[in-house]
Structure 1
Amino acid sequence: MLFGVITTIFPDAPAIGVVRQHVDDLVLVGDRKTPPAASSDIRLLSIDDQFAEFPEFAGLMPFNHYARKNIGYLHAIARGATILFDTDDDNAPTAQWKVPQPEIVGAISGKEFANIYRLYSDDTIWPRGLPLDHLQDAQNFTVEERRGSDAAVAVWQGLADLAPDVDAVWRMIYDKEFIFEKTPSPDHVVLDEGTFCPFNSQNTLWMDPSSFPFLYLPWTVTFRFTDILRGYVASFGIWRQGKRIGFGPATVEQARNPHSNFKDFLSEVPMYSLGRTVYDVLAKSNLNGGDSDLLVMYEDLARAGIVEKEELVSVERWINEIKRLCSTGQAVP
């Protein structure tokens, strides 16, 4: 069952109606600023709903914060989600949007950091979260064709046209609408273990329920770092499971909600300065592919000063909620 999960203060945003047409069920996670939804076809989790369903975990998530989206993930898992479409209220799927099932993929290896966006454009562009000291790296990674059925992709990251997920440095320099004009061959690529490209929460399909624990969004880092840090953690955890992260062409158009680029920049400063450190910390984490890996990685990140120790309480509660849902048969294990 394909669930979409969005957190919003605009429950009737046009893009949300488009998302609803592409999923079996859609969950909107409300916050203190979220008014009721006009459409009865969309499930809006109010603050009261969140506390009724997950009282302990809902109390750990801060209000007016993107990490409340975690409660939407749990709600979808509890209702049997087998694929989870993670997106935002300003990303509208286009006619090209679909769950990827490529016959052939390009497997990428040979670098620790790879700017996948450059496969889909000859213009200067990079994903939010790519360490800035890697912007000028030559794109000399190895691409090997493989059967798509052999790729074991746990997460597909689709790109976004018009306002792609780039950082504030790019936006302050270029400040323009952007279209990914290239289609590489193969048009979907998969990152081999150790090769990392940041992925976000805007046009992202989580394909494997065994990797759902890595959906967790941290709340003790800045807003613009939240989903990027999640992507680092998820990549290492998913690699240890023997699975991969994949990227594909732009299949949504983002009509970006109002932002201050400079405020975004200030929120991204830790992301710029800590990306390399996060990679190195997680590369040394003692992972076994089991239930404890998420907590192990966050304990290592806390020791490195990247997240606060309070984060560990939330991570433990999250893991317990996932286990509870699976043990009661509400969720797919």
Structure 2
Amino acid sequence: MEDFAEFVGLSRPTVSKYFNDPKSVRGKTRDLIEIAIKQSGFRPNIFAVNLNRRRTNILGVIIPNSTDPFYMALTRRIELIANEAGFLAFVLSSDGNPEMEDRAIETFKSMNVAGAIIAPLGVDSHHDTLAALGDSIPLVYVDSPLDESSSFVGTDNEQSFQLIVDYLSRSGEQPCYFPMPSVNNNARTREHAFRRSMALLKLEPIVLELEPQRSWDFERFGFEQTQRILREGGFPTRTVLCANDRMAFGVISAAYQAGLKVGHAPGCDLRVAGHDDHPLSRYACPPITTVAQNYNDIGRLAIELLLHKLGEPTGPRSDFPSDGRILLKAELQLRESA
């Protein structure tokens, strides 16, 4: 920065002021600096600049799977709004590994990030590490909360399961529940929501006994567990409600290979429903009946809540709940699978 200031013939504070906010310097000075930038190709080192600041303009984002379309849609929304607010969202994946989640946290500490949005592993997360990060910077959790008191933006599982369970129970044989591997707190809260929804209808909840796993490969898990269930005599009811759509993909594939017809039309052998409205669920064969999470709203509200915690303008919403927890309603998506 000092070399560039000497090159352009201005003081270092003036040049630094320009890079912080080009509109903060006079027009002639701005023109002079921009000509010098083109001539020299100079760009300030954003990480070095942020290390010198009391509070940086970098926001951290940690997700468990960078290839999952849900997290891709979520981070895209976060990045766009962060950029509009003058922040850089830096996204890292924990790849379903608690050690990599810890490494991502340490990376953000070294970058002096202003705040972070985290989709935690939950069950496998090192809570002390996340708690220590939360003591130093504002945190907002998405997808699944780390605990009952952390700031969180996600879907109201109680409401979403009441929707899908009520529909399935009233439109055909009652559902049995295909739980997800215990990779985060959604595994526990969604099973609880299913049991509660069945109890409200005065029906006995049937939860399938599946092999315990901690895999994020939900499609393979659904496929292999369904193959085993069919070999051992089949599902206890002809309606299967999966904890998420990705497992429903595996269930439908295994049913197809076993010669079963999935759907709600006459002559079908099995109904299969999911949760989340995965971007590919409408293109499955048959398209999957599910409840839709609003990816855009989750991403938008998460970044707006984080900006609110940082004292920044947050757009149209400013009435954030005092406990920092926002639960969004899901919508039923009726398709051919159930």
Band of TM-score, shorter chain: under 0.3
- Structure ID, larger Rg: 2
Identify which of structures 1 and 2 has the higher relative contact order when contacts are C-alpha pairs closer than 8 Å and 6+ apart.
1
Higher strand share: 1
TM-score by length of 2: 0.24
Higher helix share: 2
TM-score by length of 1: 0.24
